[in-house]
Amino acid sequence: MRKLLLTVALTALIGPVFAKPTEGAGAPLLKATPSQTEAAVWATRFLTRFHYKPTPLDDAMSEQIFKRYLDSLDGDKLFFTQSDIDKFAPYKDKLDDAIYDQDLAAPYAMFNIYEQRVAERVAYARAALAKGFDFAADENYQYDREKAPWAKDTAELDELWRKRVKNDWLRLKLASKSDKDIRDTLDKRYAAYLDRVRQLNSEDVFQTFMNAYASSIEPHTNYLGPRASENFDIAMKLSLEGIGAVLQRDDDYTAIREIVPGGPAALSGKLKVGDRVVGVGQGEHGQIVDVIGWRLDDVVEKIRGAKDTVVRLEVLPADAGPDGKHVTLALTRKKVSIEEQAAKKSIIEVKGGDHTRKIGVISLPTFYQDFDARRRGDRNYKSATRDVEKLLGELKTDKVDGVIVDLRNNGGGSLAEATDLTGLFIDKGPVVQVRNAGGQIEAEEDSNPGMAWDGPLAVLVNRASASASEIFAAAIQDYGRGLIVGEPTFGKGTVQNLVDLDDVAHNEKPTFGEVKMTIAQFFRINGGSTQLRGVTPDISFPLTVEAKDFGESSYDNALPWTSIEPAKYAPVADLKPVVPELLQRHDARVAKNVDWKNFEADLADIRKLRAEKTVSLNEQARRKERDDQEAKRKERDQASTSATPSADPAAKTEQKIREAAGVRDRPRKADADDGVKIAVDTKKDGGKSQKRDGADAPADKGEDAGLQDDGLQPDERSITTDIEREKKAKDKRDVVLDEAAHILADEIDLIRTDVKLAARILPYGAMSTRVD
């Protein structure tokens, strides 16, 4: 530790130097603990007996586990050679025996070789930086290697990595970085790759292996280690006990990225964004432990703790150099609410003719609920439905004409919340039907009469709207209660339940973790299913992602679509008469809307880039691509009311580049997983690692929003720069939401000018007597 501090201090004195060497002795070989081998057996008992799709753990399943475990370690085939795969081949049909015999030597041996290969690749990449590159050569780099064959030998891997490093260098060169800065940045980047892999521990490897097993049964079944289980719980209840700060890895430091309003850190006034935590102590007098170079989640575990207990932080201020004076402060942990994932409201004013329609918008990122607080009888337990009901009351006071429930990117959450939230917009009745593994069907119903909002309603969805979002949207559509606008949804029609393995094993402390297991399938009240097919909007917007790349249909082992008998329900309105007119107005409006045309053009560009598997390594060709993109952007912006940021064509490779050395922020085929993204493999400890006292914080959105490519990975930017990029992405005009508001305003116009029509398309004829 002290050597590391000295190195940082010397860097400040003598100027930039290469990152600390990583070629020395590697981390000790990892192996499974007795508790992990026992946890594997406990998990298997539930997965083979009580899963909705019970599947025996046999040789056939072993082959599936082998395939998925390899994919988790080296999905882009960047580290292993074919000879490695040949050596692993005897394990292919033996992993079932490994679990039953409580001998997990095989998967750990595979991981240990993986770590060795990462070290070899990093050493090669760092050595390549000293040689330079010929950017006049006409060659391409295949960055998408998901379906590529394994490299025959080390020589073939060397050539692949030469091109990877050349592409990294070229991106920084195009961003006007000097050769010296490029060399220093990339050397530090590659060293960090290996450091992160070497920080992985036995629990990480075990969770990766067990997830390879769980997800081989069906896509939404997972194993959660004790730490992942705790983070899942935090994400569902939107609260934690800690200091109220979003933490981020910053080189070898743990830095403050955000202060949560109202939390202990904010109330103290002693912490600010950019401050670096270098030590943590427990209680008023506990020894402060040096945490420089620690994994982020290990630091988080030290900072997080029981409410009303004291934690002491040793802090290097943001404006101090590496040898600056440290400050020690004490904070009393409290319950902290995570409001950024809570429901929020806004109002859009839509002008038309001689009137203006006020459209209320409720954005709901997830269907959250604090299950424990509700079970304890806490009247103030956190609940998505309770929050939305309060916001609807406020929108009524604001005298809005209609309401949009924005469920874009809402991956789901609590089934009970989906049912209760639907009840805010219908009088009462069935919301969703649930069929368990035994074939028994029960309807989840809203039994509370009355509606929190009985006026015009629209639900805005996209491909990332999943699970509970689809339950809500489908029920609103089946009742004829409101318009569904946007893209076809994810297609997740299954229900998961958490099995606490420590509870069933009667462990006093969290040791075995949890299994998130599919136990049922849900069906619409009309008898159909959202499984695979999702919810089809009444008015469709352009697809932002192809179904083969994202959604339930992208999984090779998803459950099939099926249907059951409809539930007993009565639609409250019929929107069919108004949809053709609304669609005609929508088409006419977007045909003249420059921002919408730019939106469609951007999507076309993205689809073209996604279809490509290679990128040119010729500097002149890349500059031309970038200049063409920039010219296209300027042409669009000149006629647009909302500027669209540009992006180097190579920006599309950023995610693949970030995955080097097994570092990945997002899964290859993202999983809705009830709205909670869980780090389930060894590749997700890198990139921009952020935690909110341990809860997952949003990943970087800059590249996704099309911001100018600077050639850097998110954790290589300063926190200030990163926050600015995030703000630019958020500030960009939301043309999709604007158009949804116009569609709902059109519906209101039709209602207000036609009493008979209003009586048909509003529930129970509500507001039918109000005519403009």
Q: Are 384 and 419 in contact (CB under 8 A)?
A: no
For residue 131, what are the contacts with CB-CB under 8 A and spacing of at least 6? none
Query: What's the CA gap between 714 and 467, in Å, rounded?
Result: 30
Query: What's the CA gap between 753 and 414, in Å, rounded?
Result: 40
Residue 394: phi and psi, rounded to 5, are -70, -40
Question: Cα–chain-centroid distance for residue 505?
Answer: 32
Query: What's the CA gap between 607 and 611, in Å, rounded?
Result: 6
Q: Structure tokens of 528?
A: 């159909």
Rg (the chain; Cα; Å): 27
Q: How many residues does the chain have?
A: 772
- DSSP codes of every residue in 4-48: HHHHHHHHHHH---PPPP--SS-PPPP---HHHHHHHHHHHHHHH
**Angle between helix 384-397 and 415-423 (nearest 10):** 20
Q: Are 405 and 459 in contact (CB under 8 A)?
A: yes
Query: What's the CA gap between 621 and 633, in Å, rounded?
Result: 18
- In our burial notation (b when 16+ CB lie closer than 10 A, e otherwise), range 534-564 reads bbebbbebeebbebeebbbbbbeebbeeeee
Residue with tokens 């982020």: 296
Question: Which H or E run includes 319?
Answer: none
Query: What's the CA gap between 334 and 364, in Å, rounded?
Result: 25
Q: State the pairing for strand pair 355-363/344-352.
A: antiparallel
First vs last C-alpha separation in the chain: 73
Query: What's the CA gap between 433 and 444, in Å, rounded?
Result: 6
* Residues with catalytic roles: 467, 478, 492
The candidate with the shortest Cα–Cα distance to 164, out of 141, 139, 192, is 141
* Coil, strand or helix at 47: helix
